């Protein structure tokens, strides 16, 4: 077989390499760092919807990824009600039934923190598996990737909340104020969204999933057990009681209890909203900047 190049036909213009200007123009707008600014809002919304669908399809292909949302509310509710409910319920002036009324709103506050850690782990996995490299090559708004992740995690959190309330009712939880219950769920979603920005930043900045889990554990443990979620803080040492009073999880748990039972709400509500606004104002720009820099 001849290795000489075939002659150019007379009726065809010779092929030349594309100029630098032509090559630059062929690059999708979203591939450069300022691409998001040139994508209209309607396109951003369409991209976000497509990415939400992609994340939901991924969950459908990997149902084990829903195990935390499905099992966490069941395991923790049964564990605390039937293992600790009798003794702690007596300190509350009742028994296990009294503790059910105390722990279910507390676990509602805990859900936001636990689900938020999942978004950071999933985001880090997307970077390490090459999914983000694929997104980088597509003409989509990169902000859509962040918002789609948050919205899907909110859906998971609402599912976990529903399971928690169903299990709570089955073990004796009595909803005294249904509008207050809906308000408590909404407040938990607001605070959970603020926490997601923290874990999104960790998902971008940490090198691997193990690092995200380790840092998340250091954040989760003091906030969860140094709060009023599981036990009243009255018997805690003075220094720990002070930490508990300003712990956002205590504020959210106390606000949820007040909303569900017509109890005091104002202090916990405003403190939770203040934490939510503060965390979002600080961590959302950090997460977005880190994401833009890395992609």
Q: What is the pTM of this model?
A: 0.80
**Which of 279, 225, 230 shows the shortest CA–CA distance to 108?**
230
**Which of 286, 115, 281 shows the shortest CA–CA distance to 202?**
286
Residue 4 inside a domain? The answer is no
Angle, CA 108 vertex, CA 102 and CA 111 arms, to 5°: 140
Residue 159 inside a domain? The answer is yes
Residue 10 inside a domain? The answer is no
Residue 6 inside a domain? The answer is no
Phi and psi (nearest 5°) for 130?
90, 0
Dist. CA 175–CA 105, nearest whole Å = 10
Residues 31-47, mean pLDDT to the nearest whole number: 63
**Structure-block tokens of residue 247:** 């712990």
Whole-number pLDDT of residue 36: 57
Three-state secondary structure call for residue 216 = helix
Residue 18 inside a domain? The answer is no
- pLDDT > 90 fraction of the chain, expressed in percent and rounded: 35
Residue 156 inside a domain? The answer is yes
Is 90 exceeded by the pLDDT of residue 221? no
Q: What is the domain range of residue 146? A: 40-294
Residue 15 inside a domain? The answer is no
Q: Locate tokens 């010779």: which residue? A: 14
Whole-number pLDDT of residue 23: 38
Dist. CA 254–CA 264, nearest whole Å = 8
Dist. CA 172–CA 101, nearest whole Å = 8
Structural domains of the chain, count: 1
**Structure-block tokens of residue 81:** 């009600």
Residue 1 inside a domain? The answer is no
């Amino acid at each position: 077989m001849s290795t000489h190049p075939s002659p150019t036909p007379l009726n065809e213009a010779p092929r030349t390499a594309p100029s630098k200007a032509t090559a630059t123009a062929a690059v999708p707008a979203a591939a450069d760092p300022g691409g998001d600014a040139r994508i209209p809002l309607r396109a951003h919304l369409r991209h976000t919807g497509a990415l939400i669908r992609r994340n939901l399809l991924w969950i459908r292909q990997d149902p084990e990824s829903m195990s935390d949302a499905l099992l966490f509310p069941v395991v923790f509710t049964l564990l605390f009600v039937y293992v600790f409910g009798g003794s702690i319920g007596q300190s509350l002036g009742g028994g296990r039934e009294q503790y059910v009324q105390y722990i279910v709103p507390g676990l509602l506050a805990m859900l936001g923190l636990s689900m938020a850690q999942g978004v950071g782990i999933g985001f880090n996995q997307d970077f390490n598996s090459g999914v983000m490299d694929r997104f980088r090559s597509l003409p989509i708004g990169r902000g859509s990737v962040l918002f789609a992740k948050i919205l899907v995690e909110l859906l998971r959190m609402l599912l976990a909340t529903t399971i928690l309330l169903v299990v709570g009712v089955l073990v004796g939880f009595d909803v005294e104020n249904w509008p207050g219950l809906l308000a408590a769920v909404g407040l938990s979603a607001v605070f959970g969204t603020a926490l997601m920005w923290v874990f999104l930043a960790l998902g971008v900045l940490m090198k691997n999933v193990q690092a995200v889990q380790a840092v998340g554990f250091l954040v989760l443990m003091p906030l969860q057990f140094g709060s009023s979620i599981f036990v009243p803080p009255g018997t805690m040492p003075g220094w720990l009681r002070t930490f508990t009073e300003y712990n956002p999880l205590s504020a959210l748990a106390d606000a949820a209890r007040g909303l569900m039972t017509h109890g005091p709400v104002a202090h916990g509500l405003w403190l939770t909203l203040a934490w939510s606004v503060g965390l979002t104002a600080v961590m959302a720009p950090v997460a977005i900047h880190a994401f833009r820099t890395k992609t």
